[in-house]
Amino acid sequence: MMSVESFRMYVCPQCKGQLGVEATALTCPACLRAYPILDGIPDFLADDPAQSRDPVLRSVERIDRMARLLRVEMVVPAGVECLRRMALHNVCGIG
């Protein structure tokens, strides 16, 4: 588990303000956001990643959905080519 002092190195991902350390969360007095501490690790993705300004975070849900679909590969090998094309099209714009 991280010590209270080690949490002080973090800043708010939203406004870059100094975070306060509480028992169960890191809090930002400037923008009033709170980031939960889960199993000793601060969770800075507490907000919906789809609403992020970061394009990678916005695509996390789509990537996760494709990863679940690709697990079908073990069960239905015939669908692998179709899923590969979908993934290439969605991520790279080709396929």
| 12-39 confidence digits (pLDDT tens) | 888 889 999 998 999 999 999 998 988 8
The pLDDT value given to residue 55: 77
End-to-end CA distance of the chain: 45
Q: Are 51 and 60 in contact (CB under 8 A)?
A: no
| 75-92 confidence digits (pLDDT tens) | 555 566 677 777 776 666
Q: In the block, which residue shows the tokens 């969605």?
A: 90
Residues 6+ apart with CB under 8 A from 67: none
Q: Are 4 and 42 in contact (CB under 8 A)?
A: no
Model confidence at 72: pLDDT above 70: no
In the chain, how long is the greatest CA-to-CA distance? Answer: 54
Whole-model pTM: value is 0.50
